[in-house]
Structure 1
Amino acid sequence: MFQRKSAFEIRHQLGLSPAVAILGARQIGKTTLAKQIAAEFPDSIYLDLENAQARAKLDQADVFFEANRHRLVVLDEIQNAPDLFSTMRGEIDADRRPGRFLILGSASFKLLQQSQSLAGRLALVDMAPLLLSEVHQSFEDIQTLWVRGGFPGSYTTPQNDASWLWRDAFVRHFLHTDLPALGINVEPELMRRFWRMVAHLHGQLFNASSIAASLGVSSPTVTRYLDHLVQSLMLRRLEPYHANLGKRLVKSPKIYVRDSGLLHYLLGMRNVHDLMGHPNTGASWEGFCIEQICNHLPTGASVSFYRTAAGAELDVVVETGRETTGFEIKFSSAPKVSKGFWQACEDIGVHKAYVMAPVQEGWAMAKDVQVVSPLDIPMLLSKA
């Protein structure tokens, strides 16, 4: 059993807000977690809206909600019943007690578009695949989670081959079933080709025209494909740091496959031996660490990367309003940084900087610059 980081936030928000939404990709454990939390509420109700019988119970949703006003109502796959949002709004306005609804959605953009009528009544909680802070028992857990990724079905299998088959089935189902269900009508094989191209460009600046030429489609079409995979939580678009520094800053975003296991599947890397001999090993490690950072950000923090035409660069810049923290990510047990790292720290005026590497114990590299392990991320960002 994993102690999901999202669980604390969900429980907290249910004590404050009438409705709480858990947003995350399919198969990351939203339903399991929601049922665990619902079991803590006496007489709660769980309805899977992919099930016709469950939807039938809500034919007269206003009557159903009023009759069960004293109970926590859990609505899974809420995007299948968008009309419920307006009914929920009226019911919440009639009784604004916290902890009335817990709703689950498999893609952020569609649920957010549908839930505009619940503005001011709905708290949003993002749920990621498994994080190091949720599974860590030993240093070897880093390697297992990195290779297999954080989807529980992939991570928990007893053998690497079974994990690979799980990811193969997941990608097929996602392309052929999940995307159409979200209203995204793209030929599955074309989207697979795009996804694989992005995997090969993982951690690089996004160049729509270059990918468009390879796919034989237009640049706007490629940008739309990117939007689809970002909005369905498969890709992360990391925007560049913007400030009036008098520097020629890079303006294109960097693109990452959010789950390292899916990245390795798309690149054909079945095990750690394939991974260690692959030219994308460093980029894969970078994306893995970035996901750990992004999923432990303090409330209200922003994340970006910094790069100038002159070669100054920081992989991650975290701004909290109080201070700015820089992260440089290296796949080396004895990491070294370039002149561009020091220049970037000076340009931005970071309060502190960390060099993240696969090490068991960190050390001070310079004043306000430390080498750290990704296991340290929760502690480091809790102080940011």
Structure 2
Amino acid sequence: MTFERHHIHTLRQRLDESPTFMVVIAGPRQIGKSTLVRQVLAGRPASFVAVDQPLPELVDPFTGSRVGVGLSAQIIPGAQPTTEWLVNQWIQARTKARALPEGQQYVLAIDEIQKIPRWSEVVKGLWDADRAETLAMHVILLGSSPWLMQKGLTESLAGRYEAIRMTHWSYSEMQAAFDFSLDEYFYFGGYPGSAGLIRDERRWREYVRGALIHPNIEKDILQMTRVDKPALLKTLFELGCAYSGQIISYTKLQGQLQDAGNTVTLAHYLDLLSQAGLLTGLSKYAIQKHRQRASSPKLNALNTALISAQGGYSFTDARNDRTYWGRLVESAVGAHLCNTASDSCLVQYWRESPDEVDFVLSNGRKLVALEVKSGTGFATPKGLKVFTEKFSTARPLIVGEGGIPLAEFMSRPAEDWLE
């Protein structure tokens, strides 16, 4: 039986309603967005078209030149979709929707929509025309470039869509679908496509680097937005994964990178990596907003597979090195918090030398301070005590040894700990 992520229930509910809003499904590469939509569309009148696949072009079989409708179709490798292609796909779906018996609804799903120039303007016009006609056709838009998706949605489609945001697979999902142990999840992370390769670690690393990391950076970032120093962005990603779980100033990062530019450039590139679901920089918790913005980032990979695939440790070696394993566990906890936090839940850290708190959760009303303990020796962290004395409303939590078991913590979303 195919595993179903929890988002599937939301999507089914939306498609069972009358088409009032478009459905937008966004998230990083290789987390099951297309699979989820195909699962829901099974048995429904629907079309699923992928923008990033080679397109059929009409070609004169004698001259090889492009021609109009009426001659045989031939696949042209590398052909890029255009707004004309998008309109054509939409018109074909409309025809099928109008042919359905009364009471049935058609679904048009378009994958990697952000790769079409001016897609949001075209979609706005087509969708508004459908609503004026009260056409019984749902539209699903999928994309793995969140910043381009968001740009188009806010510029042209405000008020016309509902979003379903998907993130990396959680420990509970990887355990249920692939029988991952907690330690395996900490090391191999939450990419479903690589789960079957973990018994061959060399092959697993090559897959993660070649099929996940490279396309994320080369296709979803460098081809989709302006990056003046692509080598710097790649090096920042590699360095950020190596330093995941650590607080590092932009000035120190400059010293580690060649041709680093200024701190504004580094902050921008880190934001691009974060929106792509690769690497984020947590800000420091502070009452004053300007102190949060001026703080050094705490780097955190958003999937620990990105750390392990580039590190020099095997699974066995990683578990035997308590210092390295502790950083990996803390990174996994940080990734879990970032991936499961809603827009109203802020994930940060806190430090006032020499005291530090690993993670701080807040939602404007409640405040939780988290300390991760992966070792066997337990002592109450001093940072938690100092933090709760400074912020009297804060609730301290220890995750791991002497506190909430790691398996339990990794099975619940960030908001649960604010209740």
TM-score (norm 2): 0.77
Once residues 168 and 47 of structure 2 are traced to their aligned partners in structure 1, the CA distance between those partners, rounded to angstroms, is 25
* 1:243 corresponds to: 287
Q: Determine if the alignment matches structure 1 residue 123 to structure 2 residue 165.
A: no
CA, structure 1 residues 98+23, in 2 after alignment: closer, same or farther (shift >3 Å)?
farther
The runs of 5 or more residues in structure 2 that have no matched partner are 57-80, 98-104
- Counterpart code for 1:240: K
**Kept after mapping to 1: 8 A contact 2:145/2:221:** no
CA, structure 1 residues 140+216, in 2 after alignment: closer, same or farther (shift >3 Å)?
closer
Q: Determine if the alignment matches structure 1 residue 164 to structure 2 residue 197.
A: no
SS at match of 1:123: strand
SS at match of 2:55: helix
Report matched runs for 1:1-384 at 5 Å: 1-14=2-15, 18-39=21-42, 42-53=44-55, 55=81, 57-60=85-88, 63-64=91-92, 66-69=94-97, 70-93=105-128, 94-95=130-131, 100-116=138-154, 117-137=156-176, 141-157=181-197, 159=199, 160-170=201-211, 171-185=213-227, 189-217=231-259, 218-219=261-262, 220-243=264-287, 251-277=295-321, 279-297=323-341, 300-309=344-353, 311=355, 313-350=356-393, 352-357=395-400, 370-376=403-409, 377-378=411-412, 381-382=415-416, 384=419
Once residues 294 and 118 of structure 2 are traced to their aligned partners in structure 1, the CA distance between those partners, rounded to angstroms, is 43
Of 47-56 and 69-78, deviating more is: 47-56
- Counterpart code for 1:305: Y
SS at match of 1:32: helix
Once residues 224 and 297 of structure 1 are traced to their aligned partners in structure 2, the CA distance between those partners, rounded to angstroms, is 22
Once residues 385 and 294 of structure 2 are traced to their aligned partners in structure 1, the CA distance between those partners, rounded to angstroms, is 18
- Counterpart code for 2:153: S
Q: CA deviation at 1:261?
A: 0.9
SS at match of 2:141: strand
Once residues 205 and 269 of structure 1 are traced to their aligned partners in structure 2, the CA distance between those partners, rounded to angstroms, is 22
What's the CA shift string for 1:303-356, capped at 9, x where partnerless? Answer: 222222462x33222223453222211212454332221121232334633211
- Counterpart code for 1:3: E
CA, structure 1 residues 46+101, in 2 after alignment: closer, same or farther (shift >3 Å)?
same
**Kept after mapping to 2: 8 A contact 1:164/1:270:** no
SS at match of 1:269: coil
- Counterpart code for 1:71: Y
Once residues 97 and 233 of structure 1 are traced to their aligned partners in structure 2, the CA distance between those partners, rounded to angstroms, is 36
Once residues 354 and 139 of structure 1 are traced to their aligned partners in structure 2, the CA distance between those partners, rounded to angstroms, is 28
- Counterpart code for 2:333: C
Once residues 139 and 50 of structure 1 are traced to their aligned partners in structure 2, the CA distance between those partners, rounded to angstroms, is 32
SS at match of 1:156: helix
SS at match of 1:125: strand
Once residues 9 and 360 of structure 2 are traced to their aligned partners in structure 1, the CA distance between those partners, rounded to angstroms, is 26
Q: CA deviation at 1:157?
A: 1.9
What's the CA shift string for 1:251-286, capped at 9, x where partnerless? Answer: 222111111011112222232323532743322211
Of 151-160 and 252-261, deviating more is: 151-160
- Counterpart code for 2:271: D
Identity %: 20
What's the CA shift string for 1:18-75, capped at 9, x where partnerless? Answer: 22222222222211112112226x2011000113437475344663454355411111
The ranges of structure 1 where at least 4 consecutive aligned residues each deviate by more than 6 angstroms after the TM superposition are 96-99, 247-250
TM-score (norm 1): 0.83
SS at match of 2:106: coil
Once residues 31 and 40 of structure 2 are traced to their aligned partners in structure 1, the CA distance between those partners, rounded to angstroms, is 16
Of 219-228 and 76-85, deviating more is: 219-228
Of 172-181 and 128-137, deviating more is: 172-181
- Counterpart code for 1:103: L
**Kept after mapping to 2: 8 A contact 1:148/1:261:** yes
CA, structure 1 residues 320+181, in 2 after alignment: closer, same or farther (shift >3 Å)?
same
**Kept after mapping to 2: 8 A contact 1:44/1:72:** yes
Asked which structure has the greater CA Rg, the reply is 2
How many residue pairs were aligned? 371
- Counterpart code for 1:50: D
SS at match of 1:236: strand
- Counterpart code for 2:139: F
What's the CA shift string for 1:218-247, capped at 9, x where partnerless? Answer: 2243333323312322112212222159x9
**Kept after mapping to 2: 8 A contact 1:57/1:64:** no
**Kept after mapping to 1: 8 A contact 2:205/2:310:** no
**Kept after mapping to 1: 8 A contact 2:337/2:414:** no
Once residues 379 and 182 of structure 1 are traced to their aligned partners in structure 2, the CA distance between those partners, rounded to angstroms, is 31
Once residues 238 and 193 of structure 1 are traced to their aligned partners in structure 2, the CA distance between those partners, rounded to angstroms, is 19
